[in-house]
Chain A
Amino acid sequence: MTALSSALLPSPLLAVTGLEQSFGGVMALAGVSFQVAEGLIYAVIGPNGAGKTTLFNALCGFYQPSAGSIRFADQELLGLPPHRIAARGIARTFQNLQLFFNMTVVENVMVGCHLRARTHLLAAALRLPWVQRQEQQLREWAIAALELCELADRAGQPAGSLPYGLMKRVEIARALAAKPRLLLLDEPAAGLNDTETMALRDLIGRIRANGVTVLLVEHHMPLVMGVSDRLLVLDYGSVLAEGAPADIQADPRVVAAYLGGAVNYAV
């Protein structure tokens, strides 16, 4: 890229270069590089065990990759612990539900607002007046996130009492409550029925309309092809292809390695 064009182009929100992560002998990420521009819905697809979840875990500081770099909003993330990375504006959901089952729905989402307000321990124990006002504010923020996810009527229920599909949506609400710049969704459609998947598609659209960049790992091809602006295909920890949905669907390597033609039923 010439100096001129790089000066004109806005720098990407997320730039991953040469990321490597191995577990014993398994190279789960073998030098992965890609860039995500702000405001996009960027999908990461690939067969089981391709390294998608590992990529997410590395991005959010749960793993310590052995090589590479992760630049987010022009700052290096590598080496930061998860809570510091969250503070930079990254939130996520989990492939295996990680709800706080010991809390109600709204309390779960209020934990999502954790970084948007600071309560001092002593002030909380004494419940000073400003702590009460702050609680009210946190609750309002949480309810707003629940409304965006069409869950406001469930606010007071124990998180564990919801049907599976709604629990997954509570995770999205909780992540959104953090007001992230980048939202990582790990297989949000897994285990959902068709109606719920359609609702999820609408929800992802609303999230984008709110100005949040989305990184989406998903096996449900109609959803992926319908909603994403760009795709990254991983296979055995390496990038197999990267591009617009139409190009990916037409890429013979992708079809051969992963999709086995399945990509063609995209909507």
Chain B
Amino acid sequence: MRLAGFYLFALGVALLPILFPDNYFVIVVGASAGLHVILAVGLNLLMGYAGQISLGHAAFFGMGAYASAILTTRFGWPSLLALAAGLLATGALAWLFARPILRLRGHYLAMATLGFGVIVHVILVQATQWTGGPDGLSGIPALNLLGWRVDGDEQWYGVIMAAMLLVVWLTLNLVDSQVGRALRAVHGSEFAAQMMGVDTGRAKTQVFVISALFAAFAGSLFAHQQAFVSPDSFNLTVSVELVTMVVLGGLASTFGAVCGAIALTLLQQGLVVFEDYEMLIHGALLMAVMIFMPQGLFVGLSQAARRVRHRLKRRQPLPST
């Protein structure tokens, strides 16, 4: 069945808090992992499927978060409306930037997206009258979903997991459709894709906007969940973390990105003691994966499993041909 993996995943997500009731680790770390999954799955659409690198993805995450934070605290907008406005603004900006940025390739694209991330971070720090500067914005009201105020760790786990499952489901559908094949074709051979009638500029723009929207969505949820935002949550380190998640899990595999995001979230929890060395550890991890398992942990392991299964099958007597 096409979505068998997805249903299994959804079941696991739903069962976790039932199997481990009142467990801080499952509920809080789980919610954090859920946000990371949304970010990584979106970035993987761009990097893994369309083959376009982005080293500034935290910028879109931050724009969603700050849109919600500013509109609710300074203008008193209802949280859902602020979320929608954040999505709209981020999507529009991504759309504007997509054409000129995605015309670049390889290192140039990496540098341009890196620059974009840095600029957005600088703005978050400097535009003090709007963003609160380095101290950030606090007192962000609870997310209000048509009258239901999301409050408490359990409720947040539910909301974030539901959002995450929605994003994963949309992504799985998209990848396995004409739109998704066109994206993968751009990665496989841009020239051939054009000759099959794919408007590659448009395809790249679309995927850039979608992955920015996913990131902004995660950002809005994050702002309400934490009730506080500061520029540190959206700096270059975070962008590198996101890339690490995607590469760790395996490019061009949605569940690879899911696994990468979860694995890195768990790792971060385990490494809290080494906070100062976080960047170092991410770098080492990225290098190790690239050298020893360039297709990523999830993809690499599932390929290995397939090989083992294949070999076991071979052991059985071959049918006469």
Contacts and interface: CB of A to CB of B under 8 A. Distances in A.
Interface stretch (B94-102, B154-162, B172-180, B313-321): B172-180
A102 B183 CA distance: 11
B181 to A, nearest CB: 5
Nearest to B173: A127
B252 interface: yes
A125 B179 CA distance: 9
A100 to B, nearest CB: 3
Contacts of A138: 178
B53 to A, nearest CB: 16
Contacts of A115: 196-197
A133 B211 CA distance: 27
Given A82-B191, A100-B184, A131 B197 contact: no
A101 interface: yes
A107 interface: yes
B192 A131 contact: no
Interface in A97-119: 98-103, 107, 110-112, 114-115, 117, 119
Contact of A107 (B171, B181, B189, B194): B181
A87 B170 CA distance: 29
Contacts of A126: 170, 173
B177 A131 contact: yes
Contacts of B171: 125
Nearest to B170: A125
A119 B187 CA distance: 19
A103 B181 contact: yes
Contacts of B188: 99-103
B124 interface: no
Contacts of A83: 194-195, 197-200
B206 interface: yes
B178 A134 contact: yes
Query: Chain A interface mostly helix, strand, loop or mixed?
Result: helix
Contacts of B31: none
A82 B185 contact: no
Contacts of B184: 100, 102-103, 107
B182 interface: yes
A112 B174 CA distance: 18
A99 B173 contact: no
A98 B191 contact: yes
Contact of B189 (A91, A98, A114, A134): A98
B198 A100 contact: no
Given A94-B192, A102-B187, A127-B173, A86 B179 contact: no
A168 interface: no
B198 A114 contact: yes
A60 interface: yes
Contacts of A117: 178
Given A99-B188, A125-B170, A111 B179 contact: no
A229 B138 CA distance: 78
Interface in B134-184: 170-171, 173-174, 177-182, 184
Contact of A121 (B179, B196, B198): B179
Given A83-B200, A91-B196, A178-B197, A124 B191 contact: no
B193 interface: yes
Contacts of B189: 98-100
A40 B60 CA distance: 54
A87 B197 contact: yes
Interface centre among A61, A103, A107, A127 (most CB of B within 10 A): A127
A190 to B, nearest CB: 17
B163 to A, nearest CB: 15
Given A124-B180, A138-B178, A111 B198 contact: yes
Interface centre among B180, B181, B193, B199 (most CB of A within 10 A): B181
Interface in A72-91: 81-83, 86-87, 91
A258 interface: no
Interface centre among B174, B180, B194 (most CB of A within 10 A): B194
A242 B174 CA distance: 49
Contacts of B198: 83, 111, 114
Given A107-B181, A111-B182, A174-B192, 7 more contacts: A83-B199, A99-B189, A100-B193, A114-B178, A121-B210, A124-B177, A125-B179
Interface of A: 60-62, 81-83, 86-87, 91-92, 94, 98-103, 107, 110-112, 114-115, 117, 119, 121, 124-127, 131, 134-135, 138, 174-175, 178
9 contacts: A83-B198, A83-B199, A92-B195, A94-B192, A112-B196, A125-B173, A138-B178, A174-B196, A175-B195
